[in-house]
Structure 1
Amino acid sequence: RCADHPEFITQNAQVRRLLAQADRVAESPATVLLTGESGTGKEVLARRLHGCSPRRRASFVRLNCASLPEGVLESELFGHEKGAFTGAVRQHLGRFELANRGTLFLDEIGAADMRVQLRLLRVLQEREFERVGGAETLRVDVRVIAATNVDLREEVRKGTFREDLFYRLNVVPLKLPPLRQRKGDIPLLIEHFIRRLAAQNRCKIRGLDAAALNHFLAYPWPGNVRQLENALERMVILASDSLLREEDVPEEIVHWQDEEEPDLSQRDFKEARNSFERHFLCEALHRHRGVISQVAEDVGLSRKSLYAKLEHLDIDYQHYRT
């Protein structure tokens, strides 16, 4: 029934129940809100929902709301007319038009500003909108799947997210658990990613030895499945043998307890949180070689928020550029 969806690797009972629920929801036009930490597989699940739906032959269009500079998101969503603003030298079709009769996946929806939120509310309610700078009302048939790694109910309480939009998006909520809560899936994910990475890099990798696997099972994976895939990619690229060993495992995975545990008892909550965020962001900067736009998308922050966080934590992102 769902032959067109991407494979979701799991043997976890909680995730299997969630996937069964997703497959039932896929056949309806209902708006879905996917929640979970960064890297837990929200986009994979969104593609599964599209692939199992009656819309699967039409377009699946993705937009990360946190990856665009302020003011650009509205134009990317709804398009703009020629001359709508300085630099608008031609008409631009927005993601809603591109996704007509298909699915629009709005990742990190919590990053949308209030103006965009109001326009999203209208298109969800009335299925119509105008391009920026345009007068013509356009009608669309789009199934919206939104995703976030923040607590939107808390954002509603703080006044930064519209309550009416939240309820429009939250028709069917699906929450993905973090990898640390489904560690039984780690060996399956390792096998899946190594098979794919070995083919991409045209090398023969049999897997991990017991010591390397133990490190993977012990590590808490703050970046979840995406971080695990990135760690394996680094190991496969640098591998000198067909079996990945303990010495091939990235240092931050091998020594995370050495770095984190001794100091925690002497820190207050704020210091402990800063230590975790510094470690998490430095690892993301290393993965993306200091490219801020890629790091922001990976960790689920806007570029403005990421720059502020790096400054607060005294992290020089230029150091990671190669």
Structure 2
Amino acid sequence: MAIAAPALDATALTSWLDDNGIPGKDEGLTVEPLSGGMTNLVYRLRRGGQDLVLRMAPGGMSERAGRTMVREYAVLTALEGTAVPHARAWALGADPAVLGGTFYVMDYVDGWSPAASDLWPAPFDADAALRRALALELVEGAAKLSRVDWEARGLSGLGRPDGFHERQVDRWLRQFNEIAFRPLPGLQDAAAWLRGNQPASWSPGIMHGDYQFHNVMYAHGAPARLAAIVDWELSTIGDPLLDLAWVLMSRDWNESKFDLTGMPPDAELVAHYEQHSGRSTAGIDYYLVLARFKMAVILEGGVARSRTDARHERAGSFADISVNLAAEAGAMARRLS
């Protein structure tokens, strides 16, 4: 059950838009709820000829939810002028007194999202050759993100790259232990292997944190072109190779939703990432184990919450996926040992 998107105070919002120099002053304002999620609310704004999106932490949510909006805005602002496809961010509303929560406004992206349907839109639905480029564009987007000079872009405070890999196992096991209601066979095998096989060297960069088909938008029509990477709430400064591993891991459940005929094999996607990022992917197996280990814990957290909170009912459908991911992580770890 998603959070219902409440009506916004149009008068207060109009005044804020005017004060922040957002185009469309004196041309009227219409507000349309686009979604009400568990962690944020999304609205489409129309003001004269300007189409905008407002993303907000719901009123009454924790201070952490507000900080998430600040983080998303910081990343989008830092990406301005880079090759990374993204929506332009206009302004941040850090005072909850304006609308009841921290929010920001960005451009509306005219495109389509794979998350919106179980079918590819035309012409990708009927042409496997065209679908191939969807995956290549997805990987290329992650590669472009990995190349951004995050320090020069003012993102030094976004995360803690020092000790990133040393923290991963303990962090996610701690989270699992806090919500555990059943064992996840394979999780401990993966944890032990990950502790002993951390990368000897790596280069920090911007990580999206949940990079997959569900969190990008494509331009309408062929050829495939990535229009924007969206949903930056898990972004941080870490190891960008984990975003690539996330793409490869998510392929497994995308197969149950989409026809992936024509999509490049994993080896080609890895080579494409390496070509466009300039990063070595020689140790990709570590990241593939880590991605499954981490996602198993994340999804299991949703399953645990669904047992006591009706708002998380949908997350209960991930019960088998979290078990399978933990088992896969453990099996990969044992095979690589």
TM-score, scaled to structure 2: 0.23
TM-score, scaled to structure 1: 0.24
User: Rg larger in 1 or in 2?
Assistant: 1
